[in-house]
Chain A
Amino acid sequence: MNVNCNDMELINKLIELSRLNFSEEEIERLCQDINKIRVLLNQVSTLSKLNIKPLYNVWDNILIPPVKIGIEKIDIYDLISNDRIYQKKVKIPWRGE
Protein backbone atom coordinates (compact mmCIF):
# COMPACT_ATOMS: atom_id res chain seq x y z
CA MET A 1 0.00 0.00 0.00
CA ASN A 2 1.22 3.48 -0.87
CA VAL A 3 0.86 4.94 2.53
CA ASN A 4 3.34 6.86 4.52
CA CYS A 5 3.48 4.81 7.67
CA ASN A 6 6.37 3.46 9.71
CA ASP A 7 4.43 0.71 11.34
CA MET A 8 2.72 -0.77 8.32
CA GLU A 9 3.95 -4.27 9.02
CA LEU A 10 2.57 -4.25 12.54
CA ILE A 11 -0.67 -2.63 11.45
CA ASN A 12 -1.16 -5.20 8.72
CA LYS A 13 -0.69 -7.98 11.21
CA LEU A 14 -3.25 -6.41 13.55
CA ILE A 15 -5.70 -5.96 10.69
CA GLU A 16 -5.29 -9.59 9.71
CA LEU A 17 -5.92 -10.78 13.28
CA SER A 18 -8.93 -8.52 13.73
CA ARG A 19 -10.70 -9.34 10.45
CA LEU A 20 -11.08 -5.67 9.73
CA ASN A 21 -10.35 -3.73 6.59
CA PHE A 22 -9.53 -0.13 5.79
CA SER A 23 -9.46 2.09 2.76
CA GLU A 24 -6.13 3.76 1.88
CA GLU A 25 -7.37 7.06 3.15
CA GLU A 26 -8.41 5.46 6.43
CA ILE A 27 -5.07 3.72 6.74
CA GLU A 28 -3.29 7.02 6.71
CA ARG A 29 -5.40 8.34 9.57
CA LEU A 30 -5.19 5.05 11.34
CA CYS A 31 -1.44 5.09 11.20
CA GLN A 32 -1.28 8.58 12.65
CA ASP A 33 -3.76 7.80 15.39
CA ILE A 34 -2.12 4.54 16.33
CA ASN A 35 1.23 6.26 16.65
CA LYS A 36 -0.29 8.76 19.02
CA ILE A 37 -2.13 6.16 21.04
CA ARG A 38 1.04 4.11 21.34
CA VAL A 39 2.79 7.07 22.87
CA LEU A 40 0.04 7.18 25.50
CA LEU A 41 0.07 3.43 26.11
CA ASN A 42 3.85 3.34 26.33
CA GLN A 43 3.52 5.06 29.69
CA VAL A 44 2.23 1.82 31.12
CA SER A 45 5.16 -0.23 29.82
CA THR A 46 7.39 1.21 32.51
CA LEU A 47 5.44 -0.92 34.98
CA SER A 48 6.08 -4.22 33.24
CA LYS A 49 9.22 -4.99 35.22
CA LEU A 50 7.63 -4.37 38.61
CA ASN A 51 7.23 -7.43 40.75
CA ILE A 52 3.50 -6.96 41.32
CA LYS A 53 0.73 -9.48 40.97
CA PRO A 54 -1.51 -8.58 38.04
CA LEU A 55 -5.02 -7.49 39.00
CA TYR A 56 -7.58 -9.08 36.70
CA ASN A 57 -10.73 -8.89 38.82
CA VAL A 58 -10.79 -5.70 40.77
CA TRP A 59 -11.64 -7.32 44.12
CA ASP A 60 -9.37 -10.36 43.65
CA ASN A 61 -12.56 -12.15 44.50
CA ILE A 62 -13.35 -15.83 44.57
CA LEU A 63 -16.41 -17.13 42.81
CA ILE A 64 -18.69 -19.66 44.42
CA PRO A 65 -20.57 -20.93 41.37
CA PRO A 66 -24.31 -20.64 42.06
CA VAL A 67 -26.56 -23.69 42.05
CA LYS A 68 -29.13 -22.21 39.66
CA ILE A 69 -28.85 -19.33 37.23
CA GLY A 70 -32.32 -19.34 35.74
CA ILE A 71 -31.75 -18.53 32.10
CA GLU A 72 -34.10 -19.99 29.57
CA LYS A 73 -33.43 -21.51 26.20
CA ILE A 74 -34.13 -19.36 23.18
CA ASP A 75 -35.16 -19.90 19.60
CA ILE A 76 -32.54 -19.33 16.91
CA TYR A 77 -35.29 -17.90 14.69
CA ASP A 78 -35.50 -14.96 17.10
CA LEU A 79 -32.08 -13.88 15.86
CA ILE A 80 -31.87 -14.47 12.14
CA SER A 81 -34.29 -14.74 9.26
CA ASN A 82 -35.49 -17.98 7.68
CA ASP A 83 -33.45 -17.62 4.52
CA ARG A 84 -30.27 -17.96 6.58
CA ILE A 85 -31.36 -21.29 7.99
CA TYR A 86 -31.07 -24.64 6.25
CA GLN A 87 -32.69 -27.67 7.86
CA LYS A 88 -32.75 -25.84 11.18
CA LYS A 89 -29.03 -25.13 10.92
CA VAL A 90 -27.43 -21.72 10.49
CA LYS A 91 -26.15 -21.36 6.93
CA ILE A 92 -22.83 -19.57 6.49
CA PRO A 93 -20.71 -19.18 3.36
CA TRP A 94 -17.58 -21.30 3.68
CA ARG A 95 -15.30 -22.37 0.80
CA GLY A 96 -12.54 -23.55 3.04
CA GLU A 97 -12.02 -20.47 5.16
Chain B
Amino acid sequence: MKKETAFSILEGLKNGSIDFEDYALKRLEIIQKKDPIINAYISLESEEFIRDRIKEIKDDLASGKKMKIPGLIVSIKDNISTNFLPTTAASKILENYVPPYNATVVEKILNEGGIIIGKTNLDEFAMGSTTEFSAYGVTKNPWDITRVPGGSSGGSAASLSYGSADLSLGSDTGGSVRLPASYTATVGLKPTYGTISRYGLIPYANSLEQISPMARSVKDVSLLLDVIKGYDPRDATSLNYEYKEFDEKKFKICVPDEFIEGSENPIKSTIYNLLEKIEGEGIIIEYGAKFDKLNYALSTYYTIAFAEAASNLSRYDGKLYPNYNEGHSYREMSENTRRNNFGFEVKKRILMGIFALSEGFINDYYIAATKGRRLIRDEILKITKDCIIAGSVSPVLPPKIGERINDPLKLYAMDIYTVVANLAGVPALAMPAGFYNNLPIGIQFMAGPFEEKKLLALGSFIEDKTGLYGIIAGD
Protein backbone atom coordinates (compact mmCIF):
# COMPACT_ATOMS: atom_id res chain seq x y z
CA MET B 1 0.00 0.00 0.00
CA LYS B 2 1.26 3.44 -0.93
CA LYS B 3 1.38 5.86 1.97
CA GLU B 4 1.17 9.55 1.44
CA THR B 5 0.73 12.00 4.29
CA ALA B 6 0.68 15.78 4.24
CA PHE B 7 3.75 15.73 6.44
CA SER B 8 5.74 13.62 3.96
CA ILE B 9 4.73 15.90 1.06
CA LEU B 10 5.57 19.00 3.06
CA GLU B 11 9.02 17.55 3.76
CA GLY B 12 9.53 16.75 0.10
CA LEU B 13 8.48 20.25 -0.98
CA LYS B 14 10.83 21.74 1.58
CA ASN B 15 13.91 19.71 0.64
CA GLY B 16 13.24 20.05 -3.06
CA SER B 17 12.63 16.38 -3.80
CA ILE B 18 9.09 17.31 -4.81
CA ASP B 19 8.44 20.14 -7.23
CA PHE B 20 5.57 22.49 -6.28
CA GLU B 21 4.06 22.69 -9.75
CA ASP B 22 4.53 19.06 -10.69
CA TYR B 23 2.92 17.98 -7.49
CA ALA B 24 -0.06 20.32 -7.64
CA LEU B 25 -0.79 19.71 -11.31
CA LYS B 26 -0.52 15.97 -10.76
CA ARG B 27 -3.44 16.32 -8.30
CA LEU B 28 -5.51 17.98 -11.02
CA GLU B 29 -4.63 15.06 -13.30
CA ILE B 30 -5.73 12.56 -10.69
CA ILE B 31 -9.01 14.44 -10.31
CA GLN B 32 -9.55 14.50 -14.05
CA LYS B 33 -8.99 10.77 -14.14
CA LYS B 34 -10.97 9.67 -11.09
CA ASP B 35 -13.55 12.27 -10.32
CA PRO B 36 -15.86 11.50 -13.23
CA ILE B 37 -16.57 8.28 -11.31
CA ILE B 38 -16.21 9.32 -7.70
CA ASN B 39 -17.73 12.84 -7.97
CA ALA B 40 -15.97 14.26 -4.95
CA TYR B 41 -15.84 17.81 -6.30
CA ILE B 42 -18.51 20.34 -7.18
CA SER B 43 -16.11 22.95 -8.53
CA LEU B 44 -12.41 22.95 -9.38
CA GLU B 45 -9.67 25.50 -9.78
CA SER B 46 -8.05 25.93 -13.18
CA GLU B 47 -4.49 24.99 -13.95
CA GLU B 48 -3.69 28.64 -14.54
CA PHE B 49 -5.05 29.67 -11.16
CA ILE B 50 -2.95 27.02 -9.46
CA ARG B 51 0.22 28.11 -11.29
CA ASP B 52 -0.39 31.70 -10.18
CA ARG B 53 -1.04 30.59 -6.65
CA ILE B 54 2.24 28.63 -6.56
CA LYS B 55 4.10 31.69 -7.81
CA GLU B 56 2.56 33.66 -4.95
CA ILE B 57 3.57 31.03 -2.40
CA LYS B 58 7.11 30.85 -3.76
CA ASP B 59 7.41 34.63 -3.57
CA ASP B 60 6.23 34.54 0.04
CA LEU B 61 8.75 31.83 0.85
CA ALA B 62 11.52 33.78 -0.86
CA SER B 63 10.68 36.85 1.18
CA GLY B 64 11.09 34.77 4.32
CA LYS B 65 7.44 34.42 5.27
CA LYS B 66 6.94 31.55 7.69
CA MET B 67 4.03 29.38 6.65
CA LYS B 68 2.67 26.13 8.02
CA ILE B 69 1.46 24.40 4.87
CA PRO B 70 3.19 26.01 1.86
CA GLY B 71 2.36 24.08 -1.29
CA LEU B 72 -0.02 21.55 0.27
CA ILE B 73 -3.20 20.79 -1.61
CA VAL B 74 -6.40 21.49 0.30
CA SER B 75 -9.96 20.62 -0.70
CA ILE B 76 -12.83 22.43 0.96
CA LYS B 77 -16.40 21.39 1.56
CA ASP B 78 -18.76 23.44 -0.56
CA ASN B 79 -20.63 24.91 2.39
CA ILE B 80 -17.58 26.99 3.36
CA SER B 81 -17.50 30.39 1.67
CA THR B 82 -14.82 31.23 -0.89
CA ASN B 83 -14.82 34.38 -2.99
CA PHE B 84 -12.90 32.70 -5.81
CA LEU B 85 -15.10 29.63 -6.31
CA PRO B 86 -18.89 29.23 -6.16
CA THR B 87 -20.23 28.04 -2.82
CA THR B 88 -23.44 26.09 -3.26
CA ALA B 89 -23.84 23.94 -0.15
CA ALA B 90 -24.74 21.32 -2.80
CA SER B 91 -28.10 23.01 -3.26
CA LYS B 92 -29.66 24.20 -6.47
CA ILE B 93 -30.91 27.20 -4.54
CA LEU B 94 -27.34 28.54 -4.32
CA GLU B 95 -26.40 27.63 -7.88
CA ASN B 96 -23.84 30.14 -9.24
CA TYR B 97 -23.59 31.93 -5.90
CA VAL B 98 -20.06 33.25 -5.42
CA PRO B 99 -19.81 34.72 -1.92
CA PRO B 100 -18.39 38.24 -1.82
CA TYR B 101 -16.15 37.19 1.06
CA ASN B 102 -13.99 34.35 2.37
CA ALA B 103 -14.66 32.28 5.46
CA THR B 104 -12.16 32.95 8.25
CA VAL B 105 -10.72 29.43 7.90
CA VAL B 106 -10.20 29.98 4.17
CA GLU B 107 -8.25 33.16 4.87
CA LYS B 108 -6.14 31.23 7.35
CA ILE B 109 -5.38 28.44 4.90
CA LEU B 110 -4.39 30.92 2.21
CA ASN B 111 -2.24 32.81 4.67
CA GLU B 112 -0.38 29.64 5.62
CA GLY B 113 0.43 28.76 2.02
CA GLY B 114 -2.29 26.21 1.24
CA ILE B 115 -3.44 25.68 -2.35
CA ILE B 116 -7.21 25.35 -2.47
CA ILE B 117 -7.83 23.02 -5.37
CA GLY B 118 -11.62 22.79 -5.34
CA LYS B 119 -14.88 22.60 -3.47
CA THR B 120 -16.15 19.20 -2.40
CA ASN B 121 -19.55 17.58 -2.55
CA LEU B 122 -21.89 17.15 0.40
CA ASP B 123 -25.47 16.40 1.27
CA GLU B 124 -27.52 19.49 0.46
CA PHE B 125 -26.89 21.99 3.27
CA ALA B 126 -25.02 19.19 5.07
CA MET B 127 -28.33 17.47 5.79
CA GLY B 128 -27.52 13.83 5.42
CA SER B 129 -25.15 11.04 6.35
CA THR B 130 -24.30 9.58 2.95
CA THR B 131 -23.64 12.41 0.43
CA GLU B 132 -26.51 11.11 -1.64
CA PHE B 133 -28.67 14.21 -1.12
CA SER B 134 -26.57 16.52 -3.27
CA ALA B 135 -28.08 18.51 -6.11
CA TYR B 136 -24.81 17.80 -7.93
CA GLY B 137 -24.90 14.01 -7.87
CA VAL B 138 -23.96 11.25 -5.46
CA THR B 139 -20.36 10.90 -4.28
CA LYS B 140 -19.07 7.35 -4.38
CA ASN B 141 -16.82 5.62 -1.92
CA PRO B 142 -13.36 5.18 -3.52
CA TRP B 143 -13.03 1.85 -1.67
CA ASP B 144 -16.14 0.47 -3.34
CA ILE B 145 -17.98 2.61 -5.82
CA THR B 146 -21.25 0.84 -5.15
CA ARG B 147 -21.17 2.23 -1.62
CA VAL B 148 -21.56 5.67 -0.07
CA PRO B 149 -18.59 7.54 1.39
CA GLY B 150 -20.63 8.67 4.39
CA GLY B 151 -21.80 12.21 4.91
CA SER B 152 -22.31 14.93 4.88
CA SER B 153 -18.62 15.68 4.20
CA GLY B 154 -18.41 12.70 1.81
CA GLY B 155 -16.78 14.74 -0.95
CA SER B 156 -13.97 15.84 1.35
CA ALA B 157 -13.38 12.32 2.60
CA ALA B 158 -13.39 10.89 -0.92
CA SER B 159 -11.06 13.63 -2.19
CA LEU B 160 -8.52 12.59 0.44
CA SER B 161 -9.11 8.93 0.03
CA TYR B 162 -8.31 8.82 -3.68
CA GLY B 163 -5.31 11.08 -3.27
CA SER B 164 -6.47 14.33 -4.86
CA ALA B 165 -5.72 16.48 -1.81
CA ASP B 166 -3.45 16.40 1.24
CA LEU B 167 -5.80 18.09 3.62
CA SER B 168 -9.49 18.84 3.61
CA LEU B 169 -12.01 20.92 5.48
CA GLY B 170 -15.38 19.48 6.33
CA SER B 171 -18.05 20.54 8.75
CA ASP B 172 -19.46 18.39 11.51
CA THR B 173 -22.99 19.00 12.77
CA GLY B 174 -23.78 15.50 14.02
CA GLY B 175 -20.93 13.37 12.72
CA SER B 176 -20.49 14.83 9.25
CA VAL B 177 -16.70 14.47 9.17
CA ARG B 178 -16.38 11.43 11.40
CA LEU B 179 -18.78 9.20 9.55
CA PRO B 180 -17.13 9.81 6.15
CA ALA B 181 -13.69 9.43 7.74
CA SER B 182 -14.61 6.02 9.10
CA TYR B 183 -16.06 4.93 5.72
CA THR B 184 -12.97 5.98 3.75
CA ALA B 185 -10.07 5.10 6.08
CA THR B 186 -9.30 8.76 6.64
CA VAL B 187 -9.19 10.87 9.80
CA GLY B 188 -11.64 13.54 10.96
CA LEU B 189 -11.67 15.62 14.10
CA LYS B 190 -14.71 17.49 15.35
CA PRO B 191 -13.13 20.17 17.57
CA THR B 192 -14.52 21.66 20.78
CA TYR B 193 -17.48 23.92 19.99
CA GLY B 194 -16.33 27.54 19.73
CA THR B 195 -12.69 26.86 18.94
CA ILE B 196 -12.94 27.14 15.14
CA SER B 197 -14.59 30.19 13.62
CA ARG B 198 -17.88 29.48 11.88
CA TYR B 199 -17.71 32.78 9.98
CA GLY B 200 -18.40 31.80 6.40
CA LEU B 201 -19.81 28.35 7.12
CA ILE B 202 -23.28 28.12 5.58
CA PRO B 203 -25.27 27.10 8.61
CA TYR B 204 -27.27 23.94 9.06
CA ALA B 205 -27.53 23.86 12.87
CA ASN B 206 -25.45 26.67 14.35
CA SER B 207 -25.35 25.54 17.95
CA LEU B 208 -24.05 22.09 17.04
CA GLU B 209 -21.60 22.45 14.20
CA GLN B 210 -17.92 23.20 13.79
CA ILE B 211 -15.72 23.39 10.72
CA SER B 212 -13.51 20.33 11.09
CA PRO B 213 -10.12 19.22 9.74
CA MET B 214 -9.78 16.00 7.75
CA ALA B 215 -6.68 14.24 6.41
CA ARG B 216 -5.16 10.82 5.83
CA SER B 217 -3.40 10.77 9.20
CA VAL B 218 -3.94 11.99 12.72
CA LYS B 219 -0.71 14.03 12.53
CA ASP B 220 -1.94 15.73 9.36
CA VAL B 221 -5.20 16.57 11.08
CA SER B 222 -3.18 18.19 13.90
CA LEU B 223 -1.33 20.24 11.30
CA LEU B 224 -4.55 21.51 9.74
CA LEU B 225 -6.17 22.12 13.13
CA ASP B 226 -3.22 24.29 14.02
CA VAL B 227 -3.83 26.38 10.88
CA ILE B 228 -7.57 26.97 11.35
CA LYS B 229 -7.99 27.24 15.13
CA GLY B 230 -8.36 30.44 17.09
CA TYR B 231 -10.68 33.14 18.37
CA ASP B 232 -12.49 35.16 15.74
CA PRO B 233 -14.38 38.36 16.61
CA ARG B 234 -16.62 37.73 13.58
CA ASP B 235 -18.22 34.74 15.28
CA ALA B 236 -19.96 35.60 18.56
CA THR B 237 -19.83 31.95 19.65
CA SER B 238 -16.06 31.84 19.13
CA LEU B 239 -14.12 31.42 22.38
CA ASN B 240 -10.95 33.02 23.66
CA TYR B 241 -9.13 29.86 24.60
CA GLU B 242 -6.07 27.66 24.36
CA TYR B 243 -6.19 23.92 23.82
CA LYS B 244 -5.05 22.19 27.00
CA GLU B 245 -1.39 21.25 27.06
CA PHE B 246 -0.63 17.57 27.13
CA ASP B 247 2.77 15.94 27.46
CA GLU B 248 2.53 12.76 29.42
CA LYS B 249 1.62 9.76 27.30
CA LYS B 250 -0.82 8.22 29.74
CA PHE B 251 -4.36 7.56 28.65
CA LYS B 252 -7.35 6.19 30.41
CA ILE B 253 -9.91 4.98 27.92
CA CYS B 254 -13.41 3.90 28.81
CA VAL B 255 -15.73 2.01 26.52
CA PRO B 256 -19.38 2.37 27.52
CA ASP B 257 -21.40 -0.51 26.08
CA GLU B 258 -23.88 1.93 24.61
CA PHE B 259 -21.20 3.34 22.30
CA ILE B 260 -20.32 0.03 20.66
CA GLU B 261 -22.61 -2.87 21.45
CA GLY B 262 -25.31 -1.89 18.96
CA SER B 263 -22.84 -2.04 16.06
CA GLU B 264 -22.53 -4.72 13.40
CA ASN B 265 -20.28 -7.59 14.43
CA PRO B 266 -17.30 -6.87 12.16
CA ILE B 267 -17.20 -3.35 13.58
CA LYS B 268 -17.33 -4.55 17.17
CA SER B 269 -14.62 -7.13 16.71
CA THR B 270 -12.34 -4.76 14.78
CA ILE B 271 -12.61 -2.15 17.53
CA TYR B 272 -12.21 -4.61 20.39
CA ASN B 273 -9.16 -6.07 18.63
CA LEU B 274 -7.61 -2.67 18.21
CA LEU B 275 -8.25 -1.75 21.83
CA GLU B 276 -6.67 -4.97 22.96
CA LYS B 277 -3.63 -4.26 20.80
CA ILE B 278 -3.01 -0.85 22.30
CA GLU B 279 -3.65 -1.69 25.92
CA GLY B 280 -0.59 -1.41 28.17
CA GLU B 281 2.31 1.02 27.55
CA GLY B 282 0.53 3.80 29.41
CA ILE B 283 -2.95 3.01 28.13
CA ILE B 284 -5.58 1.73 30.55
CA ILE B 285 -8.88 0.52 29.17
CA GLU B 286 -12.08 0.15 31.18
CA TYR B 287 -15.10 -1.66 29.85
CA GLY B 288 -18.68 -1.58 30.99
CA ALA B 289 -19.10 2.10 31.80
CA LYS B 290 -22.69 3.37 31.47
CA PHE B 291 -24.17 6.05 29.30
CA ASP B 292 -27.90 5.43 29.38
CA LYS B 293 -28.72 8.90 28.06
CA LEU B 294 -27.90 7.66 24.58
CA ASN B 295 -31.59 6.66 24.46
CA TYR B 296 -32.71 10.17 23.71
CA ALA B 297 -29.55 11.48 22.01
CA LEU B 298 -30.90 11.07 18.48
CA SER B 299 -34.28 12.66 19.18
CA THR B 300 -32.62 15.51 21.08
CA TYR B 301 -30.14 16.06 18.29
CA TYR B 302 -32.58 15.95 15.41
CA THR B 303 -35.12 18.19 17.11
CA ILE B 304 -32.54 20.92 17.68
CA ALA B 305 -30.96 20.48 14.26
CA PHE B 306 -34.31 20.67 12.44
CA ALA B 307 -35.42 23.75 14.35
CA GLU B 308 -32.22 25.67 13.68
CA ALA B 309 -32.18 24.51 10.06
CA ALA B 310 -35.74 25.65 9.38
CA SER B 311 -34.82 29.08 10.68
CA ASN B 312 -31.50 29.31 8.81
CA LEU B 313 -33.01 28.25 5.51
CA SER B 314 -35.85 30.73 5.56
CA ARG B 315 -33.56 33.30 3.94
CA TYR B 316 -33.46 31.41 0.64
CA ASP B 317 -36.41 32.99 -1.13
CA GLY B 318 -34.58 34.09 -4.27
CA LYS B 319 -34.48 37.81 -3.56
CA LEU B 320 -30.72 38.14 -2.99
CA TYR B 321 -29.27 35.12 -4.77
CA PRO B 322 -28.49 34.44 -8.42
CA ASN B 323 -30.85 31.49 -8.74
CA TYR B 324 -34.54 32.27 -8.36
CA ASN B 325 -37.84 31.50 -9.99
CA GLU B 326 -40.21 34.06 -11.38
CA GLY B 327 -43.49 34.71 -9.70
CA HIS B 328 -46.45 37.02 -9.96
CA SER B 329 -46.00 38.20 -6.37
CA TYR B 330 -43.28 37.95 -3.75
CA ARG B 331 -45.15 35.06 -2.17
CA GLU B 332 -45.20 33.25 -5.48
CA MET B 333 -41.58 33.98 -6.23
CA SER B 334 -40.45 32.72 -2.85
CA GLU B 335 -42.69 29.65 -3.00
CA ASN B 336 -41.58 28.77 -6.53
CA THR B 337 -37.93 29.32 -5.70
CA ARG B 338 -38.09 27.19 -2.59
CA ARG B 339 -40.20 24.47 -4.12
CA ASN B 340 -38.06 24.05 -7.22
CA ASN B 341 -34.63 24.40 -5.69
CA PHE B 342 -34.65 22.64 -2.34
CA GLY B 343 -34.34 18.86 -2.33
CA PHE B 344 -36.96 16.66 -0.71
CA GLU B 345 -34.86 15.85 2.36
CA VAL B 346 -34.19 19.54 3.01
CA LYS B 347 -37.87 20.40 2.69
CA LYS B 348 -38.76 17.63 5.09
CA ARG B 349 -36.30 18.88 7.67
CA ILE B 350 -37.59 22.43 7.29
CA LEU B 351 -41.13 21.24 7.92
CA MET B 352 -40.07 19.25 10.97
CA GLY B 353 -38.14 22.23 12.30
CA ILE B 354 -41.16 24.48 11.97
CA PHE B 355 -43.19 21.80 13.67
CA ALA B 356 -40.74 21.69 16.60
CA LEU B 357 -40.93 25.47 17.00
CA SER B 358 -44.62 26.08 16.41
CA GLU B 359 -47.17 27.05 18.97
CA GLY B 360 -48.55 24.11 20.85
CA PHE B 361 -45.51 21.96 20.06
CA ILE B 362 -42.47 24.01 21.05
CA ASN B 363 -42.51 22.90 24.69
CA ASP B 364 -42.77 19.21 23.88
CA TYR B 365 -40.17 19.34 21.15
CA TYR B 366 -37.68 22.18 20.86
CA ILE B 367 -37.63 23.19 24.54
CA ALA B 368 -37.69 19.55 25.68
CA ALA B 369 -34.70 18.90 23.43
CA THR B 370 -32.72 21.79 24.94
CA LYS B 371 -33.31 20.20 28.34
CA GLY B 372 -32.20 16.82 27.05
CA ARG B 373 -29.15 18.50 25.67
CA ARG B 374 -28.17 19.79 29.09
CA LEU B 375 -28.54 16.32 30.60
CA ILE B 376 -26.41 14.76 27.90
CA ARG B 377 -23.78 17.48 28.01
CA ASP B 378 -23.43 17.29 31.78
CA GLU B 379 -23.09 13.52 31.69
CA ILE B 380 -20.44 13.62 28.96
CA LEU B 381 -18.49 16.31 30.79
CA LYS B 382 -18.55 14.12 33.87
CA ILE B 383 -17.35 11.00 32.09
CA THR B 384 -14.65 12.76 30.05
CA LYS B 385 -13.19 14.30 33.19
CA ASP B 386 -12.01 10.85 34.04
CA CYS B 387 -11.38 9.12 30.73
CA ILE B 388 -11.43 9.30 26.95
CA ILE B 389 -14.58 7.65 25.63
CA ALA B 390 -13.96 5.09 22.89
CA GLY B 391 -16.48 3.37 20.66
CA SER B 392 -17.79 3.00 17.13
CA VAL B 393 -18.17 5.84 14.70
CA SER B 394 -20.97 4.19 12.82
CA PRO B 395 -23.08 1.19 13.79
CA VAL B 396 -22.91 -0.09 10.21
CA LEU B 397 -20.37 -0.67 7.45
CA PRO B 398 -20.51 1.75 4.50
CA PRO B 399 -24.00 1.19 3.08
CA LYS B 400 -24.73 0.57 -0.56
CA ILE B 401 -25.86 3.58 -2.54
CA GLY B 402 -29.62 3.92 -2.14
CA GLU B 403 -29.75 1.46 0.73
CA ARG B 404 -30.55 3.85 3.54
CA ILE B 405 -32.05 7.00 2.14
CA ASN B 406 -35.58 5.76 1.67
CA ASP B 407 -36.25 5.35 5.34
CA PRO B 408 -35.51 8.40 7.45
CA LEU B 409 -35.19 6.41 10.65
CA LYS B 410 -32.63 4.07 9.12
CA LEU B 411 -30.72 7.03 7.83
CA TYR B 412 -30.79 8.99 11.07
CA ALA B 413 -29.78 5.92 13.09
CA MET B 414 -26.36 6.02 11.39
CA ASP B 415 -25.54 9.08 13.52
CA ILE B 416 -26.34 7.57 16.89
CA TYR B 417 -22.71 7.51 18.14
CA THR B 418 -21.57 10.78 16.61
CA VAL B 419 -24.31 13.23 17.60
CA VAL B 420 -23.33 13.01 21.27
CA ALA B 421 -20.12 15.01 20.81
CA ASN B 422 -22.04 17.77 19.05
CA LEU B 423 -24.71 17.89 21.72
CA ALA B 424 -22.02 18.05 24.40
CA GLY B 425 -19.68 20.40 22.53
CA VAL B 426 -16.67 18.19 23.17
CA PRO B 427 -13.95 17.15 20.68
CA ALA B 428 -14.22 13.79 18.94
CA LEU B 429 -11.80 12.00 16.66
CA ALA B 430 -12.59 9.35 14.07
CA MET B 431 -9.69 7.33 12.65
CA PRO B 432 -9.08 4.00 10.92
CA ALA B 433 -9.36 0.91 13.12
CA GLY B 434 -9.12 -1.72 10.42
CA PHE B 435 -10.84 -3.24 7.40
CA TYR B 436 -13.49 -5.84 6.82
CA ASN B 437 -13.78 -7.27 3.29
CA ASN B 438 -11.77 -4.31 2.05
CA LEU B 439 -14.24 -1.89 3.65
CA PRO B 440 -12.80 0.61 6.13
CA ILE B 441 -13.88 0.58 9.76
CA GLY B 442 -13.28 3.53 12.05
CA ILE B 443 -12.99 4.05 15.76
CA GLN B 444 -14.18 7.12 17.65
CA PHE B 445 -12.56 8.82 20.65
CA MET B 446 -14.23 11.59 22.61
CA ALA B 447 -12.44 13.76 25.18
CA GLY B 448 -13.26 16.68 27.46
CA PRO B 449 -13.52 20.25 26.15
CA PHE B 450 -10.22 21.70 24.84
CA GLU B 451 -8.50 18.31 25.13
CA GLU B 452 -7.71 18.18 21.41
CA LYS B 453 -3.99 17.73 22.05
CA LYS B 454 -4.57 14.73 24.25
CA LEU B 455 -6.99 13.22 21.75
CA LEU B 456 -4.55 13.74 18.88
CA ALA B 457 -1.62 12.38 20.89
CA LEU B 458 -3.60 9.22 21.51
CA GLY B 459 -4.58 9.00 17.84
CA SER B 460 -1.02 9.54 16.72
CA PHE B 461 0.19 6.82 19.06
CA ILE B 462 -2.41 4.43 17.68
CA GLU B 463 -1.72 5.13 14.02
CA ASP B 464 1.98 4.52 14.59
CA LYS B 465 1.07 1.23 16.16
CA THR B 466 -1.39 0.10 13.46
CA GLY B 467 0.31 1.65 10.46
CA LEU B 468 -3.13 2.69 9.25
CA TYR B 469 -2.29 6.16 7.99
CA GLY B 470 -1.67 7.87 4.68
CA ILE B 471 -3.65 5.16 2.89
CA ILE B 472 -4.87 5.90 -0.61
CA ALA B 473 -7.77 3.82 -1.88
CA GLY B 474 -7.14 1.69 -4.91
CA ASP B 475 -3.37 2.21 -4.96
Contact = CB atoms under 8 A, between A and B. Distances in A.
Please determine if A and B sit in direct contact within the complex, based on CB atoms under 8 angstroms apart.
yes
B298 interface: yes
B119 interface: no
Contacts of B321: 79-80
B292 to A, nearest CB: 13
A76 B314 CA distance: 20
A69 B235 CA distance: 9
A10 B322 contact: no
A21 B352 CA distance: 14
B290 interface: no
Contacts, number: 185
B445 interface: no
Nearest to B320: A79
Contacts of A43: 295-296, 298-299
Is chain B's interface secondary structure helix, strand, loop, or mixed overall? helix
Given A61-B239, A69-B234, A92-B333, A34 B100 contact: no
Contacts of A44: 296, 299-300, 303, 364-365, 368-369, 372
A63 interface: yes
A1 B233 CA distance: 50
Contacts of A47: 296, 300, 368-369, 371-372, 375
A20 B326 contact: no
Interface stretch (B254-262, B338-346, B396-404, B433-441): B338-346
B299 A40 contact: yes
A58 B419 CA distance: 13
Nearest to A10: B355
Contacts of A38: 355
Contacts of B330: 92-95, 97
A56 B371 contact: no
Interface string A54-95: 111111010101101111101100111100000000101111
14 contacts: A13-B358, A20-B351, A21-B338, A21-B339, A37-B352, A40-B412, A42-B299, A48-B364, A50-B371, A54-B373, A61-B239, A63-B236, A94-B330, A96-B329
